Amino acid sequence: DAKTTQPTSMDCAEGRAANLPCNHSTISGNEYVYWYRQIHSQGPQYIIHGLKNNETNEMASLIITEDRKSSTLILPHATLRDTAVYYCIAYNAGNNRKLIWGLGTSLAVNP
Amino acid sequence: DARVTQTPRHKVTEMGQEVTMRCQPILGHNTVFWYRQTMMQGLELLAYFRNRAPLDDSGMPKDRFSAEMPDATLATLKIQPSEPRDSAVYFCASGLGSLSTDTQYFGPGTRLTVL
Q: Amino acid letter at A68?
A: R
Average of pLDDT values for B22-35? 94
Rounded distance between C-alpha atoms, residue A10 and residue A80, angstroms = 14
Q: Shortest Cα distance from B98 to chain A (angstroms)?
A: 7
Contact flag B102-A91 (C-beta cutoff 8 Å): yes
Please state the separation of Cα A25 from the chain's center in Å: 15
Q: Report chain A residues whose CB lies below 8 A from the CB of B100.
A: 30, 32, 92-94
Residue B55 is predicted with a pLDDT of: 83
Query: How far off is chain A from B92, nearest CA to CA, in Å?
Result: 9
Residue B50 and residue B97: Cα distance in Å, rounded? Answer: 8
What parts of chain A have a pLDDT lower than 50? none
Q: Which residue has the higher pLDDT, B1 or B22?
A: B22
pLDDT at residue A1 in the model: 59
Is the pLDDT score of B41 beyond 70? Answer: yes
pLDDT band at B99 (very low <50, low <70, confident <90, very high): low
What pLDDT is recorded for position A91? 84
